[in-house]
Amino acid sequence: MTAPSTAGPDSRPILPGATLGVLGGGQLGRMFALAAARLGYRVHVYAPEHEAPAADAAARRTAAAYEDSAQLAAFAKSVDVVTLEFENVPRDAADVVQRYAPLRPGSHVLWHTQHRLREKRFLAAHGIPCTPFAEAADASRLAEAVATVGFPCVLKTAAWGYDGKGQHRVRSLAEAAAAQADVGGAPVIVEQFVDFQAELSVLVARSTTGASAACGPIANSHDRHILDVSTLPRAELAPYAAAAREMALAVVEALEAVGLVCVEFFLARDGRLLVNEIAPRPHNSGHLTIDACACSQFEQQVRAICGLPLGSFELLAPAAAMANLLGDLWHAGTPRWTAVLGQPDVRLHLYGKTEPRGGRKMGHLTALGSSAEQAEQRVIAARSLLASFD
């Protein structure tokens, strides 16, 4: 199977007043719609969910399945350009859309990024360092794959994974076999376990004109495989910052992606930068750009897909931090919003989701500071106030 070809992008600008389409109805689409509206665009959201956070901020919404070709075609014909709100939009749906409207990033990008094995092969083919890996298409190939990579290793489903879903760290062949059985015997990729000192991400906006802008590296810490806190900039990452941005730009250029792309890295203890994943859309770690940068990742996405001049990721304060608000905060009742809204140096962002569940992203907090450490302390302290019930 080969990747679909992609024609060169049309660089004619799509000016304010046009209608922008979004595939996906989550919080990333919501924040994109808010940024687009501020620039004078209308947004049409296509999503199968009955309660789509993005629809609350959009001018128009189509509630239909991704398998409904007629609805997809009508949606695409109603807009001037379409972008992605999440990476697991079915490729067939993306193919239908781009028959009738420009899709940025296009179906060819999804072909690589929706499948971990294809993603890793793409990186390796372009000489971009990534975690060592091997394929196990079925149980009969598992022993060979883990022998190639060695223990400990991480077994991941080859397709459709995020926030740690479909991932298992294993230390023996027996554990690997159990992990593959746990994912229903689906094809898996086996990756060498990386002893890392930091996880980081770089945001890249790339326009139809070929112009690009990078933000980061942003330092990320996780809890239960879900992003917990992001900070920018971290002094300890300064020696690696230029290389991380250069690698992220190389990834996006090689993909010929137009839009906003996040490249996630491991910084190994021996100083190697290894690409872990590519997200062809705005990223949770980039939410701090809304309050911390001259131009947010969502405004950059609007500018990039419309062929407008890209904005600046320049920080408006020396440092910033973002903390996720998960559904777990609601376990004892409604969080104390007034306690946080009384903090002058903290900003609250809620996504309009009506059903809080453990691990579900319901919103985030951002704080600015004179250093990453100060901003992080502020945002974590503010989050703790939400859960401090009398």
Which pLDDT score, from 0 to 100, does residue 8 have?
45
CATH number of the domain where residue 52 is located: 3.40.50.20
To the nearest whole percent, how much of the chain has pLDDT over 70? Answer: 95
Render the burial of 351-368: b for 16+ CB within 10 Å, e for the rest.
Answer: bebeebeeeebbbbbbbb
Whole-number Å distance between alpha carbons of 191 and 136: 11
Tens digit of each residue's pLDDT (9 = 90 or more) over 155-205:
988 876 555 566 888 888 888 888 888 877 778 889 989 889 999 999 999
Q: Give per-residue pLDDT as tens, 54-107.
A: 999 999 999 999 999 999 999 999 999 999 998 889 999 999 999 999 999 999
Instruction: Give residue-wise pLDDT tens across range 201-253.
Output: 999 999 999 999 999 999 999 998 899 999 999 999 999 999 999 999 999 99
pLDDT, residue 10, reads 65
In a domain, 119, yes or no: no
Q: Beta-carbon neighbour count of residue 148 at 10 Å?
A: 15
**Between these two residues, 166 and 290, which has the higher pLDDT value?**
290
Q: Inter-axis angle of helices 27-38 and 297-306, to 10 degrees?
A: 70
Give the range of the structural domain holding residue 81, as residue numbers without chain letter: 19-103
Residues 284-292 have a mean pLDDT of 98
Q: Which of 297, 276, 290 is nearest to 225 (CA)?
A: 276
| Pair 318, 232: CB distance under 8 Å | no
In a domain, 118, yes or no: no
Residues 333 and 364 occupy one common structural domain: yes
Whether residues 295 and 332 share a domain: the answer is yes
Q: Do 158 and 45 share a domain, yes or no?
A: no
Would you say residue 368 lies in a domain? yes
For residue 238, give Cα distances in angstroms to 139, 198, 204, 268. Answer: 43, 12, 18, 15
Tell me, yes or no, whether 216 and 166 share the same domain.
Answer: no
Do 227 and 168 fall within a single domain? Answer: no
**Structural domains counted in the chain:** 3
Q: Are residues 307 and 175 in the same domain?
A: no
Buried b (16+ CB within 10 A) or exposed e, 175-197: bbbebbeebeeebbbbbbbbebe
pLDDT at 166: 67
Question: How many CB atoms lie under 10 A from the CB of residue 11?
Answer: 12
Best CA proximity match to 54, nearest among 83, 79, 88, 12? 83
What does the pLDDT read at residue 157? 85
Q: Indicate if 217 and 79 belong to the same structural domain.
A: no
Residues 305-354: pLDDT tens digits?
999 999 999 999 999 999 999 999 998 889 999 999 999 999 999 999 98
pLDDT tens track for 354-379: 899 999 999 999 999 999 999 999 99
Q: Is residue 142 predicted with pLDDT exceeding 90? A: no
Per-residue pLDDT, 255: 97
The distance in angstroms from the start CA to the end CA of the chain is 60
Using DSSP's 3-state secondary structure scheme, residue 69 falls into: helix
Please give the average per-residue pLDDT across 33-46, as a whole number.
98
- Same domain, yes or no: 338 and 218: yes
Sheet-wide strand order for 188-192: 133-136, 188-192, 153-157, 167-170
For residue 32, the model assigns a pLDDT of 98
Q: What value does the mean pLDDT take over residues 109-135?
A: 93
Question: Of 103, 119, 143, which residue constitutes the final position of a domain?
Answer: 103
The predicted pLDDT at position 151 comes to: 87
Cβ neighbours of 342 (radius 10 Å) = 11
Q: State residue 12's pLDDT score.
A: 86
Same domain, 181 and 203: no
Peptide bond before residue 233 is cis, with ω within 30 degrees of 0: yes
pLDDT value, residue 162: 56
Is residue 165 located within the same domain as residue 201? no
Strand partners, 321: 231, 367
Alpha-carbon gap, residue 100 to 81, rounded angstroms: 9
Amino acid residing at 167 = Q
Residues 209, 321, single domain; the answer is: yes
By the 8 A CB rule, do 344 and 360 touch? no
